[in-house]
């Protein structure tokens, strides 16, 4: 296999022949309408959630289908009221946020939504006994309380922060759980994880782990009755298989790598499908753990940063659907630090290594003090985009004299190895620069789930990140995040490769299809179906 695999329609046709039988006997919508109906939609995604409980992190990015937050994003990523009637009132010191709640909202079981549900949700997440991997999202939160009603009878909720947190309103997309239902079982392992009750446009009708999630319209939804009555999410990790099932008619829509979506562009064959591209904050990068004797060497990291040909990756792996990445923020992000772009410079990479004492051996691979410039690079099995990025990265590194062995593995296999082994990772969360920079770079995040996989420590970066999240002054925040990005250019704990446009192929029978600036997670909540409840059938 070449370093940059260009996947075409041929792969889809071959996979179709081999897997047609599998697709036929596991149609994702077979028990509740399937694809092709006028009031149902079946989509294919690569990953399924571990839980459907917002108390454990489900839906934190919004658009969860089952739940609502106090706020939501519109198509342009502007904050809008959801379970709140308006945007929050913020105190002058930035430490108090007051929300007025929407009246008359019901959960899917018919029970009323109240301020107690909001308080319960946030307090449960902050509880030390709750295994929420994203608890740090609310590190600034000191307390939350219900506080009376407005003159019109609407309940109010007040959040008090330990310190001003510029992005706190964005955090209140957090879905709200039903206290009456969720409090009855164990928060970590109880039935609410698989039998959720929310206020969102859909309710869960069934979940076959590893296969599909089926939703139906919530009869109590405060936002009106969706035209799409049944929404099914087929979980298909392998990109080729997902493309096959789309082609066979088993899916109405799917996210695909750009080269697998290419046959549908201007095809003119009357297949009734169209390609939709969404701009994203979704980057691909390689973690370079400080504890590895090779990747922990600053000069190796600097050399890899120059040796990698990001432009070639965008062209050949992404088919142009993306752009080079130089840090956690995309090049068109308002907070991206201009001037931190790095050119492909193989000669410069070799010069850095020569000067640092990494000398080529007989096989061309460099050595220093008995240490060979070699390491293993992991990526998730079945993820062709990560595989192709990993292979391209290894090919570029070898030209500089660094030997990288690419290895596929499951999440369970890879995560325990992250302290020593690099990983081809994906991440990105667009609402605020704090959301991408702090978890990936702050030293407090080392060892916290999938955060700070480089085990990176920098006093200067920590200080700038703290300033960026605590200040409400845009000039102060820009200065802080500029400093972080400039520090990364000098000492890159990751090699950032590309920012990927998400590419979808979807049946052309609905009106109202739009996309947002999407996060890395492109499953149930992101994609053209982010607002599936608002779709209208074409006449």
Q: CB neighbours of 273 closer than 8 A, spacing ≥ 6?
A: 264, 505, 506, 507, 508
Contact of 435 with 429, CB cutoff 8 Å: yes
Q: Which residues pair with 403 in a beta bridge?
A: 374
In terms of Cβ atoms closer than 10 Å to its own Cβ (0-12, 13-18, 19+), residue 98 is: middle
Cα–chain center distance at 85: 28
Contact of 256 with 12, CB cutoff 8 Å: no
In degrees, to the nearest 5, what angle opens at C-alpha 101 toward C-alphas 95 and 105? 150
Asked whether residue 14 carries a pLDDT value surpassing 60, the answer given is no
State residue 207 phi and psi, 5-degree precision.
-145, 110
In terms of Cβ atoms closer than 10 Å to its own Cβ (0-12, 13-18, 19+), residue 502 is: buried
Mean pLDDT in residue range 176-196: 96
| Dist CA 471 CA 474 (whole Å) | 8
Residue 28 DSSP code? T
Q: Which residues pair with 202 in a beta bridge?
A: 217
In three-state secondary structure terms, 259 is: helix
Model confidence pLDDT, tens digit, residues 451-470: 999 999 999 999 999 999 99
Share of the chain above pLDDT 70, in %: 92
Share of the chain above pLDDT 90, in %: 81
In three-state secondary structure terms, 276 is: strand
In three-state secondary structure terms, 171 is: helix
| Dist CA 216 CA 517 (whole Å) | 26
- pTM (2 d.p.): 0.86
Model confidence pLDDT, tens digit, residues 264-323: 887 544 468 999 999 999 999 999 999 999 999 999 999 999 999 999 999 999 989 999
Asked whether residue 472 carries a pLDDT value surpassing 80, the answer given is yes
* Residue 470, CA distances (Å) to 70, 241, 381, 451, 483 in order: 22, 45, 39, 20, 15
Instruction: Check residue 259 and give its pLDDT.
Output: 86
* Residue 188, CA distances (Å) to 50, 54, 361, 441 in order: 11, 11, 53, 28
Instruction: Check residue 252 and give its pLDDT.
Output: 95
Angular region, 62: left φ>0, alpha ψ -120 to 50, beta rest? left
Asked whether residue 28 carries a pLDDT value surpassing 80, the answer given is no
Q: Which domains, from first to last, does the chain contain? A: 9-48+209-280+501-537 (3.40.190.10), 54-182 (3.90.76.10), 283-500 (3.10.105.10)
Rank 34-38, 59-63, 151-155, 218-222 by mean pLDDT and report only the highest.
218-222
| Dist CA 218 CA 178 (whole Å) | 15
More confidently predicted of 35 and 386: 386
Contact of 253 with 43, CB cutoff 8 Å: yes
Model confidence pLDDT, tens digit, residues 116-157: 999 999 999 999 999 998 998 999 999 999 998 888 889 999
More confidently predicted of 15 and 370: 370
Model confidence pLDDT, tens digit, residues 319-371: 899 999 999 999 999 999 999 999 999 999 999 999 999 999 999 999 999 99
Instruction: Check residue 267 and give its pLDDT.
Output: 55
Asked whether residue 25 carries a pLDDT value surpassing 60, the answer given is no
């Amino acid at each position: 296999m070449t370093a940059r695999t260009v996947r075409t329609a041929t792969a889809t046709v071959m996979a179709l022949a081999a897997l047609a039988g599998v697709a036929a006997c596991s149609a994702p919508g077979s028990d509740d309408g399937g694809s092709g109906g006028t009031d149902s939609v079946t989509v294919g995604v690569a990953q399924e959630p571990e839980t459907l409980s917002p108390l454990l992190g489900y839906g934190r990015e919004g658009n969860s289908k089952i739940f609502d937050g106090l706020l939501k994003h519109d198509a342009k990523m502007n904050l809008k009221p959801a379970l709140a009637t308006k945007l929050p009132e913020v105190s002058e010191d930035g430490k108090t946020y007051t929300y007025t709640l929407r009246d008359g909202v019901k959960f899917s079981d018919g029970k009323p939504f109240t301020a107690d549900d909001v308080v319960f949700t946030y307090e449960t997440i902050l509880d030390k006994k709750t295994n929420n991997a994203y608890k740090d999202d609310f590190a600034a939160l000191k307390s939350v309380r219900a506080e009376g009603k407005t003159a019109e009878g609407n309940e109010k909720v007040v959040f008090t922060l330990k310190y001003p947190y510029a992005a706190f309103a964005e955090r209140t997309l957090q879905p709200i759980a039903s206290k009456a239902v969720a409090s009855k079982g164990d928060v970590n392992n109880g039935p609410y994880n698989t039998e959720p009750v929310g206020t969102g446009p859909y309710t869960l009708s069934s979940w076959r782990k590893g296969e599909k999630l089926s939703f139906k319209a919530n009869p109590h939804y405060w936002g009106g009755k969706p035209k799409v009555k049944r929404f099914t999410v087929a979980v298909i990790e392998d990109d080729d298989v997902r493309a096959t099932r789309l082609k066979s008619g088993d899916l109405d829509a799917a996210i695909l790598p750009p080269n697998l979506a290419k046959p549908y562009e201007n095809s003119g064959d009357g297949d009734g499908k169209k390609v939709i591209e969404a701009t994203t904050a979704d980057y691909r990068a390689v973690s370079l753990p400080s504890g590895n004797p090779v990747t922990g060497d600053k000069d190796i990291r600097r050399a890899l940063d120059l040796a990698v040909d990001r432009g070639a990756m965008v062209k050949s792996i992404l088919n142009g659907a993306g752009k080079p990445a130089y840090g956690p923020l995309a090049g068109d992000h308002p907070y991206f630090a201009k001037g931190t772009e790095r050119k492909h410079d193989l000669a410069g990479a070799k010069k850095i290594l020569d000067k640092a004492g990494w000398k080529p051996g007989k096989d061309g691979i460099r050595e220093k003090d008995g240490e060979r410039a070699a390491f293993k690079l992991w990526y998730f099995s079945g993820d062709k985009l990560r595989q192709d990025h990993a292979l391209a990265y290894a090919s570029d590194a070898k030209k500089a004299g660094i030997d990288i062995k690419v290895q596929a593995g499951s999440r369970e296999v890879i995560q325990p190895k992250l302290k020593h082994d690099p990983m081809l990772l994906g991440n990105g969360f667009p609402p605020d620069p704090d959301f991408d920079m702090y978890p990936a770079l702050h030293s407090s995040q080392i060892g916290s789930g999938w955060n700070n996989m480089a085990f990176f420590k920098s006093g200067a970066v920590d200080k700038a990140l703290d300033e960026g999240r605590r200040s409400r002054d845009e000039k102060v925040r820009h200065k802080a995040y500029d400093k972080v990005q400039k520090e990364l250019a000098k000492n890159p704990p990751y090699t950032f490769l590309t920012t990927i446009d998400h590419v979808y192929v979807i049946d052309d029978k609905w009106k109202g299809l739009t996309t947002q600036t999407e996060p890395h997670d492109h499953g149930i909540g992101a994609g053209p179906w982010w607002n599936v409840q608002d779709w209208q059938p074409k006449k």
